[in-house]
């Protein structure tokens, strides 16, 4: 999902920019692996 930038301007933080850039690169270069990791994250969060 898309982040809610209204809570705080995290989008301007260098670490956030770096992380989002790397996630997009991973998603583009390895879409199936990205999809699997997203599913694992969702399942883990749903089990809390």
> In this structure, is residue 36 part of a structural domain?
yes
For range 3-27, the mean pLDDT: 90
Tell me the pLDDT band of 12, cut-offs 50, 70 and 90.
confident
**More confident call, 17 vs 7:** 17
On whether residue 28 sits in a domain, the answer given is: yes
On the CB side of 30, CA atoms within 13 Å amount to: 8
Name the pTM for this structure.
0.70
- Residue 3 confidence (pLDDT): 78
Kindly state the DSSP code that residue 11 receives in the 8-state scheme.
G
Q: Quick one: pLDDT at residue 18?
A: 96
Instruction: Say how many domains are in the chain.
Output: 1
Does 39 fall in a domain? Answer: yes
Does residue 42 belong to any structural domain of this protein? Answer: yes
Residue 18 domain flag? no
Which domain covers residue 31, as residue numbers? 23-47
Instruction: Please tell me the distance from the alpha carbon of residue 15 to that of residue 9, in angstroms, as a whole number.
Output: 12
């Amino acid at each position: 999902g898309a982040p809610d930038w209204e809570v705080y301007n995290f989008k301007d933080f260098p670490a956030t920019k770096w992380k989002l850039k790397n996630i997009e690169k991973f998603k583009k270069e390895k879409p199936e692996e990205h999809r699997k990791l997203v599913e694992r994250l969702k399942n883990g969060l749903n089990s809390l």
